[in-house]
Amino acid sequence: MVRSEIVLDRAVADPLSTAGPTPARASLVIVVDDRADQAGIARTARDLVHVLAPAVEPTIVVEVGAIRPDLARVGPFTVEAKSKGPLRATLAVALAVIAALAGWIAWRQRRGSRTQ
């Protein structure tokens, strides 16, 4: 997950000002998860800004905004690793209930066919 905010200010000369033109500047705030390569993202962002505005040295901030959860597979499901045990228990209980209902239906059908 990567979110970013990019601000690019071009150099502006105020015709009514005695001061020189304001310099061009670029600011990037990039929010990543905890497993992202922060240095690599900063390098790539710097390279992209230099392609867009070669004369500008950008200010780049790469921050961690989320913790990526550890995932586990339980059959066809992908869940957080901490949910693996409860999901297995829930699936086992559901399977037991289905088996009990199937047995009860079979028993009723068998008992009903004997009385006819």
Is the same domain home to 7 and 57?
yes
Is residue 61 located within the same domain as residue 78?
no
Helix (H) or strand (E) holding 39: helix 38-52
Q: Which domain holds residue 37?
A: 2-66
The pTM of this model reads 0.59
Q: Are residues 53 and 101 both part of a single domain?
A: no
Looking at residue 98, what is its pLDDT? 97
61 and 84 part of one domain: no
Q: Are 6 and 39 in contact (CB under 8 A)?
A: no
Confidence of residue 115 (pLDDT cuts 50, 70, 90): low
Indicate whether 10 and 53 sit together in one domain: yes
What would the pLDDT profile of 2-39 be if each residue is shown by its tens digit?
677 778 777 777 788 777 777 888 899 999 988 889 99
Statement to judge: residues 55 and 81 lie in one domain:
no
Instruction: Kindly report the three-state secondary structure assignment for every residue of 45-108.
Output: HHHHHHHHCCCCCCEEEEEEEECCCCEEEECCEEEEHHHHHHHHHHHHHHHHHHHHHHHHHHHH
How many domains, in total, are found in the chain?
2
The verdict on 57 and 84 lying in the same domain is: no
